[in-house]
Structure 1
Amino acid sequence: MSQAMYDKIRQVLATNADPVSLQNLVDVVEIRNVAENGDTLSAELCFGYAIEPVREQLQATLSQLLTGLGFAKLKLTLTWQVKPAQDKPLEGAGKVKNILAVASGKGGVGKSTTAVNLALALAADGARVGILDADIYGPSLGMMLGVPKGTRPEVHQQNFFVPIESLGLQSISMGFLTTEETPMVWRGPMASGALQQLLKQTLWNDLDYLVVDMPPGTGDIQLTLSQQVPVSGAVVVTTPQDIALLDAKKGIEMFRKVHVAVLGVVENMATHICSQCGHEEHIFGEGGGAAIAKEYGVSVLGSLPLDLSIREQADSGKPTVASDPNGPIAAVYRQIARLSAGQLAKMAGRSAGASPKISIHND
Structure 2
Amino acid sequence: MSAEIVKPKIFEQLKTVIDPDLHTDIVTAGFVKSVSITEQGIVDLTVELTIPTCPLQSKFKVEIEQKLLSIEGIKKVNIHFTSRKRAGVQMSQQNSLNQIHAVIAISACKGGVGKSTIASFLARALQRKGFRVGLMDLDIYGPSLPTLMSRPHADVAIIDERILPVEVDNLLTMSLGYILGDAPAVLRGPLVSTYTSQLIHQTEWGPLDFLIIDLPPGTGDIQLTLLQQVALDGAIIVTTPQTLSLVDVTRGILMFEKLHVPVLGVIENMSYFVCDNCGKKHFLFGNGTADLPERFGLPILANIPLLSNFHDASTKNAGEEYNTIWEPLIEKIQHEIGKRRANTLSSPEVHIKENELIIDWKDGKFSEISLANLRRACRCAYCVDELTGEPLLKPEEVPEDIKIEEIQPLGHYAVSIFWSDGHTSSIYPWDFLKNLVPPHS
TM-score calculated relative to the size of structure 1: 0.78
Aligned-residue offset at 1:45: 3.3
CA contact (8 A) 2:107 2:216 kept: yes
1:111 is matched with which residue? 115
Distance 1:67 1:101, change over 3 A: same
1:141 maps onto 2:145 in alignment: yes
Following the alignment from structure 2 to structure 1, what is the Cα–Cα distance between the partners of residues 54 and 229?
Answer: 33
1:187 — aligned with what?
Answer: 188
Q: Is the 8 A contact 1:264 1:300 kept in 2?
A: yes
Residue in structure 2 matched with residue 8 of structure 1 by the alignment: 12
Secondary structure of residue in 2 paired with 1:114: helix
The answer as to whether partners of 2:120 and 2:313 remain within 8 angstroms in 1 is no
Counterparts of 1:151-300 in structure 2, within 5 Å, are 151-157=154-160, 159-179=161-181, 181-288=182-289, 290-300=290-300
Offset of residue 228 of structure 1: 3.3
Name the SS of the counterpart of 1:112 in structure 2.
helix
> Given the superposition, is the C-alpha separation of residues 123 and 57 from structure 1 closer, same or farther in structure 2, using an over 3 Å criterion?
farther
- 1:326: Cα distance to partner? 7.7
Q: Distance in 2 between matches of 1:281 and 1:324?
A: 23
Q: Deviations over 1:261-289 (max 9, x none)?
A: 1111112222221122101122222234x
Q: Which residue of the partner structure matches residue 305 of structure 2?
A: 305
Instruction: Flag the 1:111–1:316 CA change in 2: closer, same or farther, 3 A.
Output: closer
Q: Distance in 1 between matches of 2:67 and 2:282?
A: 41
Q: What is the distance in 2 between the residues matched to 1:141 and 1:209? A: 17
Distance 2:279 2:232 in 1: 41
| Greater alpha carbon shift after TM alignment, 53-62 vs 198-207 | 53-62
Spell out the pairing of 1:21-36 with structure 2 (5 A cutoff).
26=26, 30-36=31-37
SS at match of 1:136: coil
- Residue matched to 1:317: 314
Q: How many residues align?
A: 338
Give 1:292 shift: 3.6
1:77, 1:93 → 2: CA distance? 31
Match of 2:79 in 1: 77
Q: Which residue of 1 aligns with 2:363?
A: none
Structure 2 letter corresponding to 1:154: A
Counterpart code for 2:156: P
Q: Secondary structure at the match of 2:93?
A: coil
- Assess if the C-alpha contact under 8 Å between 1:83 and 1:208 holds in 2: no
Q: Which has the higher contact order (CA 8 A, sep 6+)?
A: 1
For structure 1, the residue ranges without an aligned partner over 5 or more in a row are: 351-363
- Greater Rg by CA: 2
Asked whether the 8 Å contact 2:121–2:313 carries over to 1, the reply is: no
Matched residue type, 2:37: E
Equivalent residue in structure 2 for 1:45, among 44, 47, 58: 47
Deviation of residue 347 (structure 1)?
Answer: 4.9
Unaligned runs of 5+ in 2: 347-441
Distance in 2 (CA, whole Å) between partners of 1:107 and 1:244 is 9
CA deviations on 1:50-90 (whole Å, 9 max, x unpaired) are: 44987655544554565655566453536454621346467
Q: Percent of pairs identical after alignment? A: 32
Counterparts of 1:155 and 1:235, CA distance in 2: 31
1:299 Cα deviation from its structure 2 partner = 1.9
Of the three residues 318, 335, 342, the one matched with 1:339 is 335
The residue type equivalent to 1:160 in the other structure is R
The amino acid across from 1:43 in the alignment is L
Task: Tell me if structure 2 keeps the 8 A contact 1:41–1:71.
Answer: no
Residues 99-121 of structure 1 deviation map (CA, whole Å, 9 limit, x = unaligned): 32110110121211222233334
Inter-partner Cα distance in structure 2 for 1:296 and 1:86: 28
Residues 125 and 67 of structure 1: CA distance in aligned 2, closer, same or farther (over 3 Å): farther
**What is the rounded CA distance, in whole Å, between the counterparts of 2:272 and 2:188 in structure 1?**
38
Are the equivalent residues in 1 in contact too, given 2:267–2:300 (CA < 8 A)?
A: yes
Amino acid paired to 2:154: T
**Distance between the aligned counterparts of 2:254 and 2:232, measured in 1?**
15
- Structure richer in helix, relative to its length: 1
Which of 91, 95, 99 is the equivalent residue of 2:97?
Answer: 95
Q: Is 2:127–2:316's contact at 8 Å kept on the other side of the alignment? A: no
Aligned: 1:150 with 2:147: no
